[in-house]
Structure formats: C-alpha cells, structure tokens
C-alpha cells in the first residue's frame, strides 16, 4: 500500500497541528457522499447528528438516536477508505450514565465502524470521557454552541461572548485536553476567542463559525454544497449551488420524458432480429 492510500489514523490530528497544516473535515451521512468526500481528500469525515436536521428535516438534533447514528455511521465508514471517520454520540446516549456512554460509544465503533466518537460538553462530562477513553475509544470534544443543549441555550446563538463565559470555555477546553481528547470542535464562538484557545491548546481545534485561526474547519455537507435553499447558517459558505443544479437537471429529465427524447437510441436495446421474428411468429399464433 502506498502512503497515499494508507487510511488516516488519529495521529494525523497532532501531526497537522504541529506542522500548522489546517485539518479538513466535512460531515457525511450516506455511502455516496462519504465516497465523494473521501476521494476529494478530506482528512476526516464527521457523521454528525446534524443529520436530524439536514437529512430528516427536524428543527434540531434532539430526536436523533443510537439506531440512526449506527445506521448512518455504517454507510459512511464503508465508503471511507482513507478519511478518519468520527461519529457524534446522539442526545441521551452519554448524558444518563457512564455505563450507557461506554456501551454506546462502543456500538458506534463496533457496529458503525467509526474510528472515534464526538460528544458535546465540558468538564461536567469528564467521568464519561475518561470511561470511554479507558475503553480504548478516541474522543473528540465539542464546545461553544452545543446543539444538544439548544433548549437550554434558547436557540442556535453564538456562545461565549462575555469574558466570564469565554474563561469557562477556555477552562473546559483545558480539561478536555487533560482528559485525553484528541481534538475539540469549537462551534459558533467569537473568532478572537477561538484563535486564543487554539493557540493555548496542544491538541487541534476544529472550527465551525469560529473564525479562520482554528487548527481545522468543518462544514455540514448540505451547507458546503448549497443543497438546501431554505436555510444556511450565516457562517457557512456554499461552494456550489447543488439545489439549483439538481433542480435544473430534474427539470431537463422531465422535459425529455415528456418529449420522448429520453431514452434515446444509446439507452435502448432491441431483441436480436432472429429472436424477434420467432417471437412475432409465435405471438401471432397466440392471438389466433
């Protein structure tokens, strides 16, 4: 196997941080998208619980459960030949008990086939993080806007805008690092705070809505490709307009069906002439 086709391991996070090479991450939820992300060379793919919103149409991530995460993780991990695959631990899969958390993290690895898990929260979750790590499963942290707490936060709003909140986030980040998390997602926090935290930490930060000084960036599949035309967070950039392009392609397909220009000759195949004649001969007998 050439080094180019060697699957990315957890070490890529530390190596890239040390070499100051930004880490690239995108979410994916199915085989085809994951195969494209993998072939495009993404360092890592996140099976985010954002799937509840962009795949299932829910207003938040709270209805996503373990069965869904395992199913989507399996689809993604089967496609990823090189990218490091991380699965979100869904709401209530790690908040109830440490035992639940370890069992559920284990299922994402053994049944879902992922390389690591991500969970939201700071030092309150250290017992859970320690136990999952003891089971040999790498853990990514997630601070700032933590969507599973959206009800408590009062909406999807930027976090840590005040000095005391920023200090709490910094403290949480140090705790996660100390516990052994290999990386931390910083979501929707002021850019100067994200830059400061990223500089202080030895482990890499992956930003989303957190400026360009994090050690890497993550975007949601549907946002990065412009797949949805009804919603996109202000911090997300669409690199294409797939919603528009797909709509156009489907309209062209419909028109061609209606005009009978599809299928064209190259999409069709008739029976061999001899078989056709035999068929006609026998069929005519059947009609008599």
Considering the complex, what minimum distance in angstroms separates the CB of residue 189 from ligand KIV? 12
Considering the complex, what minimum distance in angstroms separates the CB of residue 208 from ligand KIV? 5
178 is catalytic: no
The yes or no reply on residue 108 touching ligand KIV (CB under 6 A) is no
- DSSP H helical ranges for 59-97: 66-79
In order of 85, 161, 164, 165, 286, the CA distances from 27 in angstroms are: 10, 26, 31, 28, 59
C-beta of 59 vs 263, nearer to ligand KIV: 59
Cβ proximity of 145 and 129 under 8 Å: no
Number of residues that bind ligand KIV (CB under 6 A): 11
The yes or no reply on residue 197 touching ligand KIV (CB under 6 A) is no
The yes or no reply on residue 48 touching ligand KIV (CB under 6 A) is yes
Catalytic residue among 187, 256, 287, 288: 187
The yes or no reply on residue 223 touching ligand KIV (CB under 6 A) is no
| Positions in 227-256 near ligand KIV (CB under 6 A) | none
Tell me which of 16, 35, 37, 49 binds ligand KIV, using CB under 6 A: 49
The yes or no reply on residue 214 touching ligand KIV (CB under 6 A) is no
CB atoms closer than 10 angstroms to residue 82: 17
The yes or no reply on residue 64 touching ligand KIV (CB under 6 A) is no
Per-position DSSP letters for 204-268, written without gaps between them: PEEEESS-S-SSEEEE-HHHHTT--SS---TT---SS-HHHHHHHHHHHHHHHHHHT-SS-GGG-
Nearest Cα to Cα of residue 104 among 75, 139, 56, 141: 139
Residue pointed to by tokens 């035309």? 229
- DSSP H helical ranges for 80-220: 98-110, 126-134, 150-153, 163-179, 191-200
CB atoms closer than 10 angstroms to residue 185: 26
Cβ proximity of 207 and 217 under 8 Å: yes
In order of 5, 18, 52, 102, 174, the CA distances from 1 in angstroms are: 6, 26, 37, 33, 38
The yes or no reply on residue 218 touching ligand KIV (CB under 6 A) is yes
Give the range of 12-20, 41-49, 69-77, 267-275 binding ligand KIV by CB under 6 A: 41-49
In three-state secondary structure terms, 118 is: strand
Tell me which of 24, 44, 50, 93 binds ligand KIV, using CB under 6 A: 50
| Positions in 156-195 near ligand KIV (CB under 6 A) | 185, 187
Q: Is the peptide bond before 223 cis (omega within 30 degrees of 0)?
A: no
The yes or no reply on residue 93 touching ligand KIV (CB under 6 A) is no
C-beta of 17 vs 72, nearer to ligand KIV: 72
The yes or no reply on residue 35 touching ligand KIV (CB under 6 A) is no
The yes or no reply on residue 217 touching ligand KIV (CB under 6 A) is no
C-beta of 8 vs 148, nearer to ligand KIV: 148
Residues annotated catalytic, as ranges? 187
Binding site for ligand KIV (CB under 6 A): 27, 46, 48-50, 88, 185, 187, 208, 218, 220
């Amino acid at each position: 196997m050439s080094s180019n086709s060697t699957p990315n391991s957890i070490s890529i996070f530390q190596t890239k941080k040390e070499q100051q090479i930004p880490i690239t991450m995108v979410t994916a939820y199915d085989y085809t998208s994951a195969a494209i992300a993998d072939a495009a060379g993404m360092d890592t793919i996140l099976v985010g619980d954002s799937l509840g919103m962009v795949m299932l149409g829910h207003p938040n991530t709270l209805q996503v459960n373990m069965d869904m995460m395992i199913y989507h993780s399996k689809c993604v991990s089967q496609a990823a030949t090189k990218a490091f695959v991380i699965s979100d631990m869904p709401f209530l899969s790690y908040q109830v008990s440490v035992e639940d958390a370890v069992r559920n993290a284990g299922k994402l690895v053994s049944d879902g086939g992922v390389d690591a898990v991500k969970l939201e929260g700071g030092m309150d979750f250290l017992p859970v993080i320690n136990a999952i790590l003891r089971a040999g499963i790498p853990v990514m942290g997630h601070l700032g806007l933590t969507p599973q707490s959206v009800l408590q936060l009062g909406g999807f709003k930027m976090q840590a805008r005040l000095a005391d909140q920023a200090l709490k986030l910094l403290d949480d980040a140090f705790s996660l690092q100390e516990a052994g998390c290999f990386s931390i997602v910083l979501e929707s926090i002021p850019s100067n705070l994200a830059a400061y935290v990223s500089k202080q930490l030895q482990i890499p930060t992956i930003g989303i809505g957190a400026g360009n000084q994090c050690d890497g960036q993550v975007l949601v599949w549907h946002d990065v490709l412009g797949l949805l035309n009804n919603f996109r967070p202000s911090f997300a950039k669409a690199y294409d307009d797939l919603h528009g392009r797909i709509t156009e392609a489907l309209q062209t397909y419909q028109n061609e069906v209606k005009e009978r220009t599809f299928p064209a000759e190259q999409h069709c195949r008739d029976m061999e002439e001899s078989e056709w004649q035999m068929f006609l001969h026998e069929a005519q007998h059947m009609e008599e």
